[in-house]
Amino acid sequence: MAEKKVTKKKAKQVKKKISPKKKAFSIATGRDQFFQGISFPQRVISQIATEVAQQITARRERRDEANLEHSVFLDTSAIIDGRAFGLIEIGVFTGPVAVINGVLEELKNIADSKDENKRDRGRQGMAMLEKIKQDKNIKLEVVEDSSLNKPVDERLIHFAKKHHGKLLTCDFNLSKKAQLNGVTALNIYEMANVVKTIALPGETFFIKVIQKGKGHNQGVGYLPDGTMIVVEEGENLLDKTVRVLITRVIQTEQGKIFFGRVLSE
């Protein structure tokens, strides 16, 4: 009986001495030894590698898609116009700003153009993209776009719709096409017209007459927001600042035009 008690006591002491870490190491070592010398067929190895790669790619795509939700997608016309960046910097849009590779390729071609004006516009657009990329308050996402067989406009609409985003453009046809496909399109020209000065006949403004008008004896001036005022009897007032009474307002595709006459002081 005494010997049995001693044996049990020793067994307990041995059991206590084996820590969980050592036990895990022992199991892992045994498993490695079990697999040593076993060679898997090349087909099995390739299959495992493919499945692992697919899982990693799927995780990356899910992460990228989450980052693109509710993005504002810029097209080439919005980038070279430049006003979009001012709107982005003052926080008009919520969510990330996204640019697909197809747009970047178009922008690069414009920046390499032989036409000086196009080249300057393209390079200015690339510089502005780099500027907002460095801004810590703005999230800029570059979207990998593999659908090279489709036009850039179609790819833009596809991504904006897929990620519940908006499309920012200066292209009238693209904005209408996007709307027909259920995508919210923001046309910068339309946005500019919305925030322009609202005037009614009878209101007065001080403007500088800078050029002759198309009509007989007309002069033309502009308000700070770019609204045109046609000044009757203003042809001889070039380079002069005058007070103009608005007599009528007309709406055109380009925006509103005010007509007025000069008030004598």
Q: What is the pLDDT of residues 143-179, one digit of tens each?
A: 887 777 789 999 999 999 999 999 999 999 999 999 9
More confident residue, 46 or 68: 68
The structure's pTM equals 0.62
Residue 97 maps to a domain: yes
pLDDT at residue 62, rounded to an integer? 47
174 and 189 in contact (C-beta within 8 Å)?
Answer: no
Q: Residue 262: which of 250, 244, 247 has the closest Cα? A: 244
Indicate if the pLDDT at residue 135 is higher than 80.
yes
Domain of 247 in residue numbering reads as 204-262
Same domain for 83 and 132?
yes
Asked, for residue 55, whether it belongs to a domain, the answer is: no
The mean pLDDT value of the chain amounts to 81
Of 162, 184, 188, 165, the C-alpha closest to 76 is 188
Q: Which residue has the higher pLDDT, 108 or 12?
A: 108
- The reply to whether 174 and 217 lie within a common domain is no
pLDDT value of position 35: 46
Last residue of a domain, one of 137, 161, 194: 194
Number of domains in the chain: 2
- Residue 190 shares a structural domain with residue 83: yes
User: How much is the pLDDT for 252?
Assistant: 79
Indicate the pLDDT class of residue 224, thresholds 50, 70 and 90: confident
Per-residue pLDDT at 36 exceeds 90:
no
